[in-house]
A = this chain, B = another copy of it.
Amino acid sequence: MPQATLIDGKAIAAALRAQIATEIAGIKAVSGLVPGLHVVLVGDDPASRVYVASKEKLAVEVGMNSVAHRLPADTSQETLLATLAGLNADDAVDGILVQLPLPRHLDTAAVIDAIDPAKDVDGLHPLNAGRLAGGKVDPEHLLVPCTPLGSMLLLRSVLPSLSGLEAVVIGRSELVGRPVAQLLLQADCTVTIAHSRTKDLPDVVRRADIVVAAVGRPHFVKGDWIKPGATVIDVGINRMPDGKLAGDVDFAEAVEAAGAITPVPGGVGPMTIACLLRNTLTAFKARRGG
């Protein structure tokens, strides 16, 4: 059997970061300015600490000014909102990211609503979600959630045109499924959103030229659900009992049917932070020119 092309997210993310670094160097040479990314971390969740450290490190590597605001776990809603108000008002702050999940006593929706939409580099503010959903603004000029944006860049690395292709998105989360469906629609795909209530999910997935799996269940999508030659983007990152990472797609099966597929790890994962940096640069250019 022919095996699918592996979509190398690690390499594509590195190339994107290199491109961002070049652009920032050019901006700095002309204006002396560099984009500033500010990450707000409340509490000491170990996984969140690791993510924030990675974001800081890669932001610095591409030449950004990177600041992490580490607040104690018992930070009040008022204090957090005051921190955000300060960052909103600071012209040197281009991107604001509040690391999720927040401790339970905080109102996440109100916190996200309090971020200046022009600095919302996670693309989660409802104003940014609404502009994406309206379909009138080129997503290039929007702050779009990072994982969906990364998924699209991976798709475009193997499919020069997406127009008219049947895309099936499995999962309808606010962070991934819903925005990636919007981006696929914007790219002129015929888009189906499937989810836990979908009947005959295998049959629905079998229609797809493009499958985006974002369900959070390891090996959920089977190889015989994949139309031969389809492109498969596996957003799932599930930690298995043996400590290894597994995607939402049964890779060993799907790689035999797909035309191209992302591995886990090394597929969508590395794209997420690269797209956060891309959004920070986009926000910088929109606010400060360059």
Contacts and interface: CB of A to CB of B under 8 A. Distances in A.
A192 B190 contact: yes
A164 B134 contact: no
Interface in A160-219: 163-164, 166, 172, 174, 178-179, 182, 185, 188, 190-195, 197-199, 204
A81 interface: no
Nearest to A132: B133
B194 A190 contact: yes
Interface residues of A, number: 33
Nearest to A173: B135
A208 to B, nearest CB: 11
Nearest to A182: B133
A128 interface: yes
A179 B192 CA distance: 15
A97 B46 CA distance: 49
Given A190-B193, A197-B190, A198-B164, A133 B135 contact: no
Contact of A131 (B130, B197, B204): B130
B199 A190 contact: yes
B126 A130 contact: yes
Contacts of A194: 190
B190 A135 contact: no
A133 B136 contact: no
A53 interface: no
A197 B188 contact: yes
Interface in A221-247: none
Interface string A108-148: 01000000000000000111111111111000000000000
